[in-house]
Amino acid sequence: MPESGERALVTRVAAVCRTAVVTGPAAALVHGLPTLDRVRSVDLVLPGSTRAPSARTWPEHVTYRNGLLRPDDITTVDGIRVTSTLRCAFDTSRYYSPLSALVVLDAARFRRPDVTTEQLLELTSALPRAHGRGAFRRVVEQSTVTSQSVLETLGRHAIIEARLPGVRSIVGQAPFEYYDLATRPLIGKVDLLINGFICVELDGRAKYTSDYVTAEERFREKQLLNRGYLLLRAGWRDVWNGFLVRWVANATSRMRYLCEDPNDGNVPPPIGDGEILTRRGLYS
């Protein structure tokens, strides 16, 4: 189902709802946020503590969810009543997976880098008590303001979840100074900087060969390498199949960063959901 079809599905379902509120990945779409998987069913929740109707009465492509829904957790976007960003991420975590929620939350935080992890944890504590709140706290702790794409979220998540003993720090969108072809000084960024010297560039194109690398990108890469950085390029299959984790493990075991790393010890705790391993067979 193309993305336009996903949004059309949500709009169609919302149009016939009198009181129900859209939540989960469908709400993320309405908020303009990416989702890990295609939205094939619209999650609905009733305001207050009203119980969901019998499943026999649900329309096609609709799933009702139970749970307390407070007025503060309801907003309207493009005429559609949806849960707030945090609540839709929470519902995505407990009804789908923590990784699905991480994709939504990272995208939301990239839009609002002023909102800190501590503030989000405080807001999470105010969510209704429900199964999965502990797992969602770990999602919040792992989330970041630097992920510019779903692939960046997945790559960072895969490295953290692998619990590689050699990974001491991980920084997203790490800046570095370089010169363009006209020798003008510029500031570039790498998607992930691990241990202060391993640069990971994540690209979602179907395949990433030298044909896709521009002269400017190649020139920038050469300067990174000449300064002693190690550069790893990874795509979707490299992340899902575990190649990226293997490359990082090899790099950390064979190389030692000799300078002081100001970000040493900043790797967040893993969520521990195991979803990367679960999905690996789908992408082999």
| The pLDDT of residue 256 | 63
149: buried, middle or exposed (CB in 10 Å: 19+, 13-18, 0-12)? middle
Question: Cα 116 from chain centroid?
Answer: 16
Q: Are 150 and 34 in contact (CB under 8 A)?
A: yes
Q: Are 85 and 33 in contact (CB under 8 A)?
A: yes
Q: Which of 89, 87, 124 is nearest to 105 (CA)?
A: 89
Q: Is 21 helix (H, G, I), strand (E, B) or coil?
A: strand
Q: Does the domain at residues 150-276 carry the CATH identifier 3.40.1350?
A: yes
Q: How many angstroms separate the CA atoms of 39 and 42, rounded?
A: 7
* DSSP string covering 60-91: TTEEEE-S-B-GGGEEEETTEEEE-HHHHHHH
Q: Are strands 80-83 and 198-202 parallel, antiparallel or unpaired?
A: unpaired
| The pLDDT of residue 188 | 87
Per residue, the 3-state secondary structure of 108-129, as one string, reads HHHHCCCCCHHHHHHHHHCCCC
CA distances to 15, 72, 109, 131 from 138, in Å? 35, 23, 15, 14
Q: Are strands 62-65 and 74-77 parallel, antiparallel or unpaired?
A: unpaired
| The pLDDT of residue 208 | 44
Where do the structural domains in the chain lie, given as residue ranges? Answer: 2-142, 150-276
- pLDDT tens, residue order, the chain (284 aa): 444 699 999 999 999 999 999 999 999 999 999 999 999 999 999 999 999 999 999 999 999 999 999 999 999 999 999 999 999 999 999 999 999 999 999 999 999 999 999 999 999 999 988 889 999 999 999 999 999 999 999 999 999 999 999 999 999 999 988 887 788 888 889 999 999 999 999 987 644 445 556 777 788 888 888 888 999 999 999 999 999 999 999 999 877 655 567 888 888 988 988 888 888 877 76
